Copies of this chain bind each other. A is one copy, B any other.
Amino acid sequence: VLGREVDDVAGQPRWQEIADDLNSRIQADEFGAEDGQEAQLPKEADLCEEYNASRNTVREAVGWLADRGIVRTERGRGTYVIPRPEPIEVTLSSREITEGGGEGAAYVRQLVKLGREAYRTSPRVEIQQASEPVARYLQIGEDEQVVLRHQQGYITKDPWFLQTSFYPLSFVRDGATRLLEATDIGEGTVKYLQAKLGYKQAGYHDEISARRPDEIEEAFFKLSGPSATVLETYRTSYDADGRPFRLTVTVWPADRNRLHYNIGEVPEPVVHTPGEQPPPQD
């Protein structure tokens, strides 16, 4: 026996052939989960025999798959196929500018329909010196201080997003003392600020980028490997005078979130159930 037959593409390294073959076998569900078990690859020693390659070569192949987030190896246990998460559809544009601005109820509703419960932790509140970017977004001096409200989002026990909102500390001095309370502001922070200080949200600016997660995000979202990616959104909210009054930074694991914006007039079904396009009209 000279090893499992794999396409011997000219110039293709042996480990790449093995990786490609394993990948196609994974996609074909060949290591299928049996009775609720997670799909598991054969152990390295068996793969060595199967492909007639050394352990180092097999490990390079498996490592290539692990780097891409296709499998996960666990010392002493084995190698498992990572299931692809169902994407969560998140609408970041709200129908009404004056609503929550992506903070709250809008997209949660659609999830409840799908039988998944979304919730966020009570905020952890801090007061900090404004960092350079925060000061820039809020158009305050770097010597000024900000209130920072940090929350974690979950969907049925699964970590969903990390979010931090920044407000000038002057808001508290001006009477918006509930910004310092470590409880979710039920009616929405925007409405609270409007009632308390007269700030009315006239518009907002969103910035979206993708990057590798830091260690905290890796741990919270249970991401690993070089292919792990998060989406990061910066939302700056402006009042009618064009002054920024809030910065909200949200981090979403890229492998299970899709962001949506509706601009202008968009059919109702698209707004309410993004990702599920309505059937062809007749």
Contacts and interface: CB of A to CB of B under 8 A. Distances in A.
Given A139-B277, A139-B278, A266-B203, A254 B67 contact: no
Contact of A266 (B68, B87, B205, B263): B205
Given A202-B265, A210-B254, A137 B236 contact: no
B258 A209 contact: yes
A135 B277 CA distance: 10
A123 interface: no
Interface string A160-188: 00000000000000000000000000000
Nearest to A102: B263
Interface stretch (A35-43, A44-52, A221-229): A221-229
Interface residues of A, number: 57
A264 B95 CA distance: 11
Interface in A221-249: 225-227, 229, 231, 236, 238, 240, 242-243
B210 A210 contact: yes
A259 interface: yes
B209 A260 contact: no
Question: Which 5 residue pairs across A and B have the least CB separation, nearest first?
Answer: A203-B264, A210-B254, A242-B267, A97-B264, A203-B265
For A68, A257, A265, the residue with the greatest tally of chain B CB atoms inside 10 Å of its CB is A265
Given A209-B258, A254-B210, A263 B203 contact: yes
A87 B226 contact: no
Contacts of A274: 205, 207
A270 B209 contact: no
